Amino acid sequence: MASFDEHCRDCERIIGDRCENVNRWMDACFKDFGPLHRFARHHWRGVDEAGKLFGDLGRKAAIVHILKDCGQVPKAREWADGQSVDSLGIKPGGKFNGHWDVEEFDRVARGHLNMDIVMQRGQARVGVK
């Protein structure tokens, strides 16, 4: 599990801002649920909520944060089905083992951010939110 400072350094390196407020918000439920807190905000619905609360930079920071912790950004329903992701948001049997090589993480995170930009533009064109 990445530390607060590690999440902030990732954001600074990848999107140019530490986004401390977003990283605190992403893990705010830790005090109540411990490592199992991820079910609350570590998914695409949490990314959308971060975007509403913190703007586009917050949305990007949430994506970076979730990727670091879960190896991918699950859908909220994947948490609910109890099989698609484990209790930490990691796909069972997937290649992610909870740890990233820095260069690989940066490449994957930038790819997700670029994909999200394309998806957001597509949704704006068809009027979907």
In this predicted model, what pLDDT tens digit does every residue of 65-106 receive, in sequence order?
999 999 999 999 998 888 899 999 999 988 888 889 899 999
0.85 cut: is pTM over it? yes
Record the tokens describing residue 8, joined without a space: 């902030």
Output Rg (C-alpha) for the chain, integer angstroms.
Answer: 14
SS3 75: coil
Q: State how far the Cα of 63 lies from the Cα of 57, in Å rounded to an integer.
A: 10
Domain count, the chain: 1
Which structural domain, as residue segments, surrounds residue 91? 4-126
Instruction: Find, among 83, 34, 92, 25, the residue nearest to 59 by Cα.
Output: 25
Structure confidence by residue, pLDDT tens digits, 13-31: 999 999 999 999 999 999 9
